[in-house]
Amino acid sequence: MTMERPILNGQVWKFPENINTDLILPGRAQYFSEEEQKEVVFEANRPGWIREIRQGDIIVAGRNFGMGSSRPAARSLRNIGIGCLVADSINGLFFRNCVNWGFLALECPGVSNTFNEGDQAAVSFEDFSITNKMSGEVLSANAIPDSLLLTMNAGGVLPVLEAEGLISEAQV
């Protein structure tokens, strides 16, 4: 597999500190199909948001994004078309789920103070920079190891294992 280092451009949606996985994907949706889960993302704290977002939009958040359980909330964010998450800090379990489900996510201390909702952002996984295209301010994010970035770009752990011949497509 080749190492793709994308540069994403999108509209910013702001979220505060301590967003838990219950807010991202409600517990009752655990047994929904992936398609049904897409309809309830952030319904408790951002009703109607799912109809406002566009493919490639970017979530900017405060500290401890994704705290809580290990439900497939990262997969749901990927499935609704969010391009990536950039947060002051990301809960460790949630970050690992971002890797496992192939959802791009970066930690960038101070990012939540640099963007307003509706701003345009450019997020580079080449040099791990985040640019506020409205103000011109550029921040440096924490770099992601190549192996984790490769897994995220490939769509997650299962597609990587399949590409390496370690599991068959039927197992995915």
- In a domain, residue 165? The reply is yes
Whole-number Å distance between alpha carbons of 146 and 37: 30
Beta carbons within 8 Å of 14's beta carbon, 6+ residues apart:
60, 61, 112, 115, 116, 117
Its pTM stands at 0.94
Q: Which pair of tokens denotes residue 43?
A: 């319904």
> What average pLDDT does the chain have?
94
Mean pLDDT check: name the lowest of 9-13, 140-144, 163-167.
163-167
- In a domain, residue 1? The reply is no
- In a domain, residue 148? The reply is yes
For residue range 86-107, list pLDDT tens digits in order: 999 999 999 999 999 999 999 9
Buried b (16+ CB within 10 A) or exposed e, 98-115: bbbbbbbbbbbeebbebb
- Is 1 a residue whose pLDDT tops 70? no
- In a domain, residue 158? The reply is yes
The CATH number of the domain where 18 resides is what?
3.20.19.10
Q: Contact, 128 vs 140, CB < 8 A?
A: yes
The pLDDT assigned to 168 comes to 86
Q: What's the number of domains the chain is made of?
A: 1
Tell me, what amino acid is at 109? Answer: P
- In a domain, residue 58? The reply is yes
For residue range 43-82, list pLDDT tens digits in order: 999 999 999 999 999 999 999 999 998 889 999 999 999 9
- In a domain, residue 32? The reply is yes
Tell me, what amino acid is at 74? Answer: A
Tell me, what amino acid is at 90? Answer: I
Mean pLDDT check: name the lowest of 1-10, 101-110, 148-157.
1-10
Whole-number Å distance between alpha carbons of 150 and 74: 17
- Is 4 a residue whose pLDDT tops 90? no
Domain that includes residue 166, residue range = 7-171
Buried b (16+ CB within 10 A) or exposed e, 15-39: beeebebbbbbbeebeeeeeeebbe
How are the residues of the chain apportioned to helix, strand and coil, as percentages rounded to the nearest 5? 30, 20, 45
- In a domain, residue 99? The reply is yes
Span 28-48, average pLDDT: 95
